[in-house]
Chains A and B, each alone.
Chain A
Amino acid sequence: MEYVDSLTGFRLDGRRPNDMRQIRGEIGVVAKADGSALFEMGNTKVIAAVYGPREVQNKGQQINNQALVRCEYSMANFSTGDRTRRPKGDRRSTEISLVIRQTMEACILVHLMPRSQIDIFVQVLQADGGTRSACINAATLALADAGIPMRDLVTSCSAGYLSSTPLLDLNYVEDSAGGPDVTVGILAKTDKVTLLQMDSKLPIDIFENVMQLAIEGCKAIAQYIREVLLENTKLLESRKGL
């Protein structure tokens, strides 16, 4: 199947190989949570809610000099094309939960909040490729909304290599093609990579190109997230009457 049309250079949905899908971020969707955000990348929709810092529920897990970060990832029953009953503790969910936790832990200033607990809950409403990245981006927004101190914004984007072209931000169809899929998460300002995952195989020089493309995607998302946060702050300011 031609993922990149050889005659026109467009992908299946009309994007160019280094075009990202339309992204949209919204803050404050879950009123009860300390911080929450809705993040959409194309048709992939994710809600993240942050509770914390608060008292550790399970005293046994308490860490004396830093905060405990917990993360849970779950997909709604209706999130994929065919409706499947998703058991909460299945392997993929556990793995992604772990990945998100580690990524966010790297950027939260946990030593500022010892003996406390920060819960990040991510719920996928619709999955159309790139869920991992959308979750991390949503979590970043939610953490910012919760006012939890962070080193930097963490953003994530995926890229792949199909029809001999590096493609940015794969959707579900392109992801299922079986080609390599590189997910990168970076700290936006400091340019440090906190998450790097890949499946399938790639020769090294092509891998460099693909990773570079993903990093550029991350930077673009970081720019957008900054704007959203700025807008939100301005709104809060105006509400406060400043």
Chain B
Amino acid sequence: MVGLSLGEKQFIHGGIAQDLRTDGRKRLHYRPISIETGVIPQANGSARVRLGATDVIVSIKAELGKPSSLQPDKGKVAIFVDCSSTAAPMFELSGKWKMVLGRGGEELSSELSVALQRCLLGGKSGAGAGIDPSSLVIVEGKLCWDLYIDGLVVSSDGNLLDALGAAIKVALSNTGIPKVTVILGPSPNDQPDVDLSDEEFLQFDTTGVPVIVTLTKVGRHYIADATLEEESQMSSAMSVSLNRHGHICGLTKRGGAGLDPSVVLDMISVAQHVGEQLMSMLDSEIAAAEAAAVQEQ
């Protein structure tokens, strides 16, 4: 992957204009998604999502912690993304995208983390978050679960944000947090003690968790689920995070070129449409995985 020749670039542009992409997809088609849950048994929940050649693994770990004083009735959720070096050489692309894709993947990692946080966790006040942190609290003001969501990009072929978003949703459905019984300390100021139950688990309700749809504008058309080559040709891209009801939970625009506001609205509505399909596909996959897990038991 050294770079694209002029001919290749024209081919990509032309194909998109004619609704026939290099791999034969239509503009708004997603590549086949394959999902695996429970790939990391040591974590409380994990999932691996393959979107064509893009491969991401998400693991969710829960640890005991103290809620922040600003929001004593909510637990804490933190999202980190790490671009593994196995996907690294892709980051040494030349051209204007060096800025975006960064050397060593550091910049990309932080950019992805921030984008995900914005889409899934809502604003600073915690309002409107896709994942509800109040379900994580154990003792108000003293004890709560800290959820650490770690994403690992194993192989990158474009559309990382979507893949990560989907993986997080699946991983959350797979997450089991042990139930705790609280033993209060003798004086009210003390940190209460907890007794862990090995048996029972708290499952997350993931129907409210949003998915992320990234639309990439190449030329005058938008495509969903761009591959790396297509991304290198984009003028701008927009990632919309949508929940089941079609509401927007977050929005990110990337890329240097400016967008007309009407174009933005148009992209959003397209994204909603695409998002519904993605959402239902993910839901069915999750259900299938759960059923398989129950059968194994």
Contacts and interface: CB of A to CB of B under 8 A. Distances in A.
Question: Are A and B bound to each other?
Answer: yes
A29 B55 contact: yes
Nearest to B2: A55
B84 A126 contact: no
Interface residues of B, number: 33
Interface in A118-154: 119, 121-123, 125-126, 128
Contacts of B52: 31
A69 interface: no
A74 B85 contact: yes
B82 interface: yes
Contacts of B152: 76-78, 123, 125
A98 to B, nearest CB: 15
B61 A121 contact: no
Interface in A60-118: 72, 74, 76-83, 85, 88
A228 interface: no
Given A31-B55, A31-B157, A32-B155, A72 B150 contact: no
Contacts of A31: 52-53, 55, 155, 157
Max count, chain A CB within 10 A of own CB: residue among B41, B57, B85, B156? B85
Contacts of B57: 76, 125
A32 B53 contact: yes
A123 B150 contact: no
Interface of B: 1-2, 39-43, 46, 52-53, 55, 57, 59, 61, 63, 80, 82, 84-90, 92, 104, 148, 150, 152, 154-157
A83 B63 contact: yes
A83 B42 CA distance: 10
Interface of A: 29-33, 36, 43, 45, 47-49, 51, 54-55, 57, 72, 74, 76-83, 85, 88, 119, 121-123, 125-126, 128
Contacts of A77: 59, 80, 82, 148, 150, 152
Given A30-B155, A121-B85, A123-B86, A81 B42 contact: yes
> Could you say which of A32, A72, A126 has the most chain B C-beta atoms within 10 Å of its C-beta?
A32
23 contacts: A31-B52, A31-B53, A31-B55, A31-B155, A32-B87, A36-B86, A36-B155, A47-B84, A47-B86, A49-B154, A57-B92, A72-B85, A76-B57, A76-B59, A76-B152, A77-B148, A78-B40, A78-B43, A83-B63, A83-B148, A119-B89, A122-B86, A123-B152
Nearest to A54: B89
A74 B106 CA distance: 14
A151 B40 CA distance: 34
B61 A78 contact: yes
